[in-house]
Structure 1
Amino acid sequence: MRFTRLPAAFALLLGGALLSISEVSIAQASITLNPHCPPGFERDGGNRCLLRSLYQQYDSPHNVGVGGLKTALPAVRDGFSPQQIDLGRYLFFDPLLSADGSLSCASCHHPDKGFADGRARPIGIGGQEIGRSAPGLWNVGFMKRLFWDARAQSLEEQAQGPLYSPQEMGSTPEGVLQRLQSSAEYQRLFGEAFGVEGGLSLGNLYRALAAFQSSLISLNSRYDRYAHGYRDALNEREIEGLNVFRSFVARCAECHTPPLFSNQEIAVIGTPEPDGLPFDEGAAVPFKDATLAGGFKVPSLRNIELTAPYMHSGRFETLFDASEFYTKGRGHAVPEGRELYLHWHIWEPELNDDELERLVDFMKALTDERFKPDTPQRLPSGLAPVHNNNELALQAGEN
């Protein structure tokens, strides 16, 4: 495990002790939080950023049917201030949140990899391999269930999982709060984002991370332009793939329902684990429900081209392989001796290779990164931003 190269004024003490960073904060120019809302958001009179999308003009329910081209989106988590969103951006890339200064949120959710990490299973603190793949974060503000096993009901609740997991970032509430409080810059910025009375607290840490993640909006793909009425946005192969996707034979849209491309439900599909790994009980554990054994939240397919490998365990390397799994027969990969309550949509559509290729063509038309946020070049903590899994990127320059 390599550690961040710290400035001379730093003293990194492991085991939950403080990082002495106030001298560095004074020496460098102060960071200013962006007073403007991110792209796709409009600031109201109360300094709140509200999402603006063409999908808001449609009144067709998002939770009925298989998602027509002009179906509304579910409610989104918005209303954060520009300053709260920007503070969350700095925190997201800051390894100060991990116990040993080696990992940030972006270590497992890289902006250039669909906010996933390109690995079957991420690497956590001390080089430990985490049990499930890192899901992408685009449009996570629409999600009402978080984590693969759907155990969290809000982004604030979700943030505490990796922060305090011994296998992931290895922090404690007391440790992360101490490290943040040791930074004069963070003290000032939390006051700027949440007011003097709110200030720096664990609750506002979680809220700032939620604010930033809710700003990761991807609704301007070529599919979206097609859905809004510009037919030439998709080529003929992609339109064929859309037709397969929405067909009663393939039934992809019944779980990956447009326009979010997830119905946000838990589904037991019987996907295989990688060789040598035990069966993952999935949602059965947090919900204490044996019928959910092997069940996982239906992920969105937005920017799916960028987030290989696929499934909760990273079992499939390509979109073709992941699509082919569904046409190999109901329950074909269920471990011997296990009886799972497979979702009724899992059957035997018998799609041929050409139809599978068209599905892949269509899913690639869901790629849209035009609102990808900038990676800060320096951080309030004085540490170097970390956004490579187990590789500590050393950067310099202006934020």
Structure 2
Amino acid sequence: MKAITFAALFALLATNTFAAAEADFVLASDCPPGFQNVAQRCQWRSPYLLYESLQNSGVGGLKTAMPKVRDGFSPQQIDLGRYLFFDPILSGNQTQACASCHQPHLGFSDGQARSTGANGTRLNRSTPSLWNVAFMQRFFWDGRAHDLEIQMQGPLYDPKEMAATPAQLLQRLNDSENYRRLFREAFPQMENRIELDQLYQALAAFESSLVSLNSRYDWYAHGYAQALSANEIEGMNVFRSFVARCAECHTPPLFSNQQIAVIGVPTPSDLPFDIGAEAISKEKTQRGGFKVPSLRNISKTAPYMHAGQFNNLRDTVQFYTKGRGHAVPADQQLTLHWHIWEPNLSEQEIDRLVDFLQTLTDESFMPRVPEQLPSGLAPIYQMPSQQ
């Protein structure tokens, strides 16, 4: 990587030739922006590759490397995954797609406090963003999955979510002449039939291409001092301070340390207490614990927390300054994360933190929503004006 210059990297990031002719469903032969085609494998490229790991730069350091990335998919696999992501063929009643909950213009979330599943079922947790999942090592709010292929099988087959079955998906995809041809193009070693592993890999390929690392914060981190205003820099300094301690869990540049944290958020009045990660680990210390989410594109993903407890960023930030354990139900004994204390931030400091969080927005590599699908069904996607 030492031979790669910033000029070359930014030129690569500015290139967007990732397009396919949808009329006859020809898969893309170019990698999406932010990736370089190396022997027909898309490898992530960014100025962050020039930096050292977090171990050498301290918490919140600007010139810090990203965690290990998952890349190396072919352009065709990524583009096939794009079609599948918006296709309701993957749901039991063919009215939902991955994009029903992971809507691109809402930060690949859905704008709801808690997700809506099959037949209008209201779920107990909110939809996490998919931006930068290529750098994540655990998935779901309780951290129970450790790769995208395992994660996606949860919503696909959960009767409360997309409510499909493996046999159903195999039959539908193999009955589609378009999909059989596209899967053979994306997986040249494929034999006669589409297999579930190929479906999971194509979806993982597309989701891993959703990279958001070109925000104004990133410009500042790479050395462009004018990228942030004085108020935003003040907010960044509060974020990184040992008073607020935001960066110790929401560690730049991913803005998540990917750990489970018990912070004691209030329980929605219509829900029982959610034990979170304790259900998976069986550890009492993780009761009420949830994965620390990335703050990338956080301004797009309201409401906030695992069940949408807060409607806006200011209320979310204010929660942390109201005092350790102030929202924990009286009947619950929780082992709160030691970073959750009483920072006593001023109103101005809270305002500046919100200013800074809004600098983490970057949708410059937004994928193109298909106008037609190989299945012949209509793509599932709500335009912003329809919200």
Could you state the TM-score of these two structures normalised by the residue count of structure 2? 0.92
What SS does the corresponding residue of 1:365 show, helix, strand or coil?
A: helix
Which residue in the other structure is 2:173 paired with?
Answer: 180
Which residue in the other structure is 2:153 paired with?
Answer: 160
Q: Does 1:255 align with 2:246?
A: no
Q: Which amino acid aligns with 2:145?
A: A
Q: Does 1:139 align with 2:114?
A: no
Which residue in the other structure is 1:265 paired with?
Answer: 259
Question: Whole-Å Cα distance in 2 between the matches of residues 49 and 298 of structure 1?
Answer: 28
Decide whether the 8 Å contact of 1:125 with 1:167 is kept in 2: yes
Out of 364, 367, 375, which is 1:373 matched to? 367
Out of 297, 305, 308, which is 2:302 matched to? 308
Out of 115, 119, 122, which is 1:122 matched to? 115
Question: Whole-Å Cα distance in 1 between the matches of residues 317 and 363 of structure 2?
Answer: 23
Aligned pair count?
A: 364
Q: Does 1:231 align with 2:225?
A: yes
Question: Whole-Å Cα distance in 2 between the matches of residues 264 and 354 of structure 1?
Answer: 29
Question: Whole-Å Cα distance in 2 between the matches of residues 62 and 280 of structure 1?
Answer: 34
Q: Does 1:60 align with 2:53?
A: yes
Could you state the TM-score of these two structures normalised by the residue count of structure 1? 0.89
Which residue in the other structure is 2:84 paired with?
Answer: 91
Which residue in the other structure is 2:182 paired with?
Answer: 189
1:30 positional shift: 2.3
**Percentage identity across paired residues of the two chains:** 63
1:196 positional shift: 4.2
List runs of 5+ in structure 2 lacking aligned partners.
Answer: 1-21
1:221 positional shift: 0.3
Which residue in the other structure is 1:333 paired with?
Answer: 327
Which residue in the other structure is 2:65 paired with?
Answer: 72
Question: Whole-Å Cα distance in 2 between the matches of residues 29 and 348 of structure 1?
Answer: 58
Which residue in the other structure is 2:99 paired with?
Answer: 106
Q: Which amino acid aligns with 2:132?
A: N
List runs of 5+ in structure 1 lacking aligned partners.
Answer: 1-27, 394-399
Decide whether the 8 Å contact of 2:235 with 2:355 is kept in 1: yes
Decide whether the 8 Å contact of 1:60 with 1:70 is kept in 2: no
Out of 25, 29, 42, which is 1:31 matched to? 25
Decide whether the 8 Å contact of 1:218 with 1:371 is kept in 2: yes
- Shift >2 Å, 4+ stretches: 60-65, 196-199
Q: Which amino acid aligns with 2:168?
A: G
Decide whether the 8 Å contact of 1:249 with 1:349 is kept in 2: yes
Q: 1 or 2 for the larger relative contact order (CA 8 Å, sep ≥6)?
A: 1
Q: Which amino acid aligns with 1:257?
A: T
Q: Which amino acid aligns with 2:44?
A: L
Out of 293, 305, 326, which is 2:287 matched to? 293
1:361 positional shift: 0.3
What is the Cα-based RMSD across aligned positions, in Å? Answer: 1.7
1:97 positional shift: 0.1
Question: Whole-Å Cα distance in 1 between the matches of residues 80 and 23 of structure 2?
Answer: 16
